[in-house]
Amino acid sequence: MTASTASRPSIVILMPMVWGVRNVVHSGVLERLATAGADVHLLLRGYDPALLKAPEHAGFSLAASCQSLLFPPIKRRIKGRSFLRDVIHSAFSKRYKIGSYAIYRRWYERDYTPAQRRKVQIIEFLGTLAQPAPIFFALYAFYDTLYRLEYDLEPLRAQLQGLTPDLIWSTVNLESSFERAYVLAARELRIPVVNAVLSFDNLTSKPAHLVYDHYLVWNRRMKEQLLQFYPQVSSNQVTITGTPQFDFHRRPEFRWSRQATLKRLGLPSETRYFLYAGGNQVLTPAEPTLVTNLARRMRQDEVLKDYWLVVRTHPLDDWARWNSVLDSSDRVVLSQAWDTTADAEGWALPTLQDQARFINTLADAEACLNIASTITLDAAIFDRPVIGIRFEHESDAPREVLYEEYDADHYRPLVESGGLRLAHTWPELATLMKQAITMPERDREARARMVAQECGVVDGRAAERVANTLLDCLMKTEKGSLMEYA
């Protein structure tokens, strides 16, 4: 293990995705770690020192340093590495009977050529053969070997050696070159890595992750899944902390008056509105057409015509695709995920005000409409009615939307909980919207159960539990007792 040259313990936090700004800086985790005496070094994908000097990003000043995440240079292309990765993902999903894999595969294959479909058939055949543990784990290790042959990890090792961390915290668990490169470099330097499972869908919709020394998860179900999927991991290597992203919902300093919310959204005083939460264009390319039709139908309905529609864009979406929706009705407004312009890969520096606008928009809405979105949980925390749109068989609705995601492993429990209502036709959607107005308390108990089951404890103190767990892991590294994977 690499020991810090300073007297203070040192933690490096990997932040390859924008969610890290919220979960690490705005939530207070960074402040708690720094107050406890740790030197915290932030490695940001979109590091811009000039932007971090702005008053709205003052929270970053608590870090001992901020640096850029380094993308590993390519040494030489290894043919077949991506193919092997796909075989491993197929084998993983078959081993553990993960139904989401087939759902997403069908979606991404819908426009494949015959040659591409034959390649998929080969991958699925090899994935079936690779299910047995000896074969699967051998391929899993071989993939890392190929990765090291293709990418040069030396710049990353040098960066980590210069920072001398006692511990690394990985804030996402998604397959990315940033993530894998740093974790492999850390293994070579014998630096333990703690991982926070970012979202409730990650273990099943993005399978065959890296294996870490310790995990932070939302809830008991997530812990059980993790232990099932990764038998190398023991129960004491997984801590249920909840997630800091829901802390803001319980912290009174982030709540505005209703009038303040309406003003920030650009809505007239006393306006009542429904919130439509947009998805990512990859899974819902035709969604703006659907919302345009929704706005038109609301305008023609004797009850709904008096209500506005606030469309919140997905943080990783192409926000420009929603501009056409504004032409559909004079009672539609767009609310971008944050005010800062994101780069091509969705990296930005959202502010505390962006986060506050999000939660207050939810809290004051009549109901939240979406298509299999995580925002269902956010709305339920505020006890707002949730309506999921599933127009698979509705003739007057666009087809280029992954309605089948409601059957994915992570989302099916939400549907089964009764905490949201599904609309399968336009008339059913209109009825559910009107019932949300007249009977908002309906499904209240089911929403509360859904939150408890999927989010874990939502008490505004998840950031505190995350920081305490990291500090506990840091103490174990000093004693040499935190398990490492070579």
3-class SS of residue 74: strand
- Quick: pLDDT tens for 79-96: 999 999 999 999 999 999
Q: Answer yes or no: is pLDDT of 174 > 80.
A: no
Q: Is 424 left (phi over 0), alpha (psi -120 to 50) or beta?
A: alpha
| Mean pLDDT for the stretch of residues 358-380 | 98
Gap between the Cα atoms of 126 and 43, Å rounded:
37
In a domain, 2, yes or no: no
Residue 383 pLDDT level (bands cut at 50, 70, 90): very high
Confidence of residue 414 (pLDDT cuts 50, 70, 90): very high
User: In the chain, how many domains are there?
Assistant: 3
Q: Which two tokens stand for residue 70?
A: 């380094």
Predicted TM-score (pTM) of this structure:
0.93
For residue 451, how many C-alpha atoms fall within 13 Å in the half-sphere facing its CB?
A: 23
pLDDT tens-digit series, residues 31-56: 999 999 999 999 999 899 998 999 99
Find the mean pLDDT for residues 451-475: 96
Same domain, 305 and 417: yes
Residues 65 and 120 in one domain: no
pLDDT tier at 1, thresholds 50, 70, 90: very low
Q: What pLDDT does 481 receive?
A: 57
> Residues 432-443: what's their mean pLDDT?
98
Nearest-CA neighbor of 32 among 466, 475, 457, 353? 466
Question: Do the domain assignments include residue 485?
Answer: no
Q: Same structural domain for residues 405 and 446?
A: yes
From 144, 159, 192, the end of a domain falls on 144
Judge if 290 and 329 occupy the same domain.
Answer: yes
Neighbours of 471 (CB within 10 A): 18
pLDDT of 426 higher than 50: yes
H helix intervals, 286-345? 287-300
Q: Which pLDDT score is estimated for 60?
A: 96
What does the alpha-carbon distance between residue 451 and residue 448 come to, in Å, rounded to a whole number? 5
Q: Tell me how far apart the terminal alpha carbons of the chain are, to the nearest angstrom.
A: 11
CB 82 within 8 A of CB 119: no
Q: How many angstroms separate the Cα of 292 from the Cα of each of 43, 336, 463?
A: 40, 17, 39
39-44 sheet: strands from edge to edge: 65-68, 39-44, 10-15, 167-170, 193-196, 214-217, 238-240
Write out the two tokens for 216: 């932070």
Statement to judge: residues 388 and 365 lie in one domain = yes
CATH of the domain at 213: 3.40.50.2000
| Residues of the chain above pLDDT 70, percent | 96
- Does residue 361 lie within any of the structural domains? yes
Looking at the fold, whether 323 and 404 belong to one and the same domain comes out as yes
Indicate whether 199 and 99 sit together in one domain.
no
**In a domain? residue 4:** no
Residues 260 and 338 reside in one and the same domain = yes
pLDDT in tens, 338-359: 988 777 677 889 999 999 999 9
Distance of CA 479 to the CA centre of its chain: 33
Do both 338 and 427 map to the same domain? yes
Q: How far is 478 from 194, CA to CA, in rounded Å?
A: 15
Report yes or no on 483 lying in a domain: no
User: Which long-range contacts (C-beta less than 8 Å, at least 24 apart) are formed by 57-63?
Assistant: 57/349, 57/351, 59/25, 59/26, 59/30, 59/31, 60/25, 60/30, 62/30, 62/31, 62/34, 63/30, 63/34
The answer on pLDDT for 178 being more than 80 is no
Residue 55's domain comprises 10-73+151-246+461-478
Does residue 384 lie within any of the structural domains?
yes
For residue 484, being part of any structural domain is answered with no
Residue 329 sits in the same domain as residue 407: yes
Q: Mark whether 101 and 194 lie in a shared domain.
A: no
Cα-flanking dihedrals φ and ψ of residue 443, to 5°? 75, 10
End residue of a domain, out of 127, 144, 161: 144
When pLDDT is averaged across residues 114-124 and rounded to a whole number, the result is 97
Higher pLDDT, 347 or 97: 97
Confidence of residue 439 (pLDDT cuts 50, 70, 90): very high
Say yes or no: 196 and 317 in one domain.
no
268-317 tens-digit pLDDT: 999 999 999 999 999 999 999 999 999 999 999 999 999 999 999 999 88
User: Of 144, 164, 183, at which residue does a domain stop?
Assistant: 144
Confidence category of residue 478, pLDDT binned at 50, 70, 90: low
Tell whether 446 is covered by a domain. yes
